[in-house]
A and B are shown apart, each in its own frame.
Chain A
């Protein structure tokens, strides 16, 4: 069974940094692209970033490009999101999501429970 467990969220001041982690199990991590999707309080879903299985290709939403960095450690089956220069509008529940098909970017077959990031002074 696939398990995705996010951690690292919390309260941070505007301009600050946080590093999110997503520990995974139950599948061959290196075979699948992984993504971060966020949901602001009471709002809809917004894709944030994706990384291919090898870690060689990364993709970002315009809203976070240049501030966030996605990475993965295939030896630890863990996905990361380094978030710098945080803004109030980054406040959201951040979900880790696994792609449905090996090798590419597509639909999100499995989701973690999310970790809450609050940016406020």
Chain B
């Protein structure tokens, strides 16, 4: 199974500042056939189901604010929130869907400093 490891486990950022969450996979999730990285990011607020933010490592889901961006390739990925808003307080998860079982990172809790 591919193990997904996120860092840090928790993060406190001031409003308006940049937040960066990292995700590392134990093996590459880059497909040689189409050069796509099978990596998604989700946001989960308390008491709510996860919400898809990013897929194919860098494609923003419809309706997601453009302050959210994804980058990386192979085994190392990053979710960046360019200017933190109060409503971004949540737990963020990465997920690989390159192979079954698809697996999630342990989550990163983002708070306001």
Interface residues of A (CB under 8 A from B): 44-47, 50, 59, 61-62, 95, 100, 105-114
Contact = CB atoms under 8 A, between A and B. Distances in A.
B78 interface: no
A113 B45 CA distance: 12
Interface of B: 38, 40, 42, 44, 49-52, 55, 61, 93, 95, 97, 100-107
Contact of B50 (A45, A50, A61, A62): A45
Contacts of A110: 52
Given A44-B93, A106-B55, A61 B101 contact: yes
Most chain-B Cβ atoms within 10 A of its Cβ — which of A50, A59, A107, A110?
A: A107
A111 B97 contact: no
Nearest to A111: B49
Contact of A105 (B55, B61, B102): B102
A74 to B, nearest CB: 22
Contacts of A112: 49
A45 B52 CA distance: 13
Contacts of A45: 42, 44, 50, 93, 95, 104, 107
Nearest to B103: A47
Nearest to A108: B52
Contacts of A95: 49-50
Contact of A107 (B40, B44, B49): B40
14 contacts: A44-B107, A45-B95, A46-B104, A47-B103, A47-B104, A105-B97, A106-B40, A106-B55, A107-B38, A107-B97, A108-B42, A111-B50, A111-B51, A112-B49
Contacts of A107: 38, 40, 52, 55, 95, 97
Most chain-A Cβ atoms within 10 A of its Cβ — which of B42, B102, B105, B107?
A: B102
A113 B97 contact: no
Nearest to B102: A47
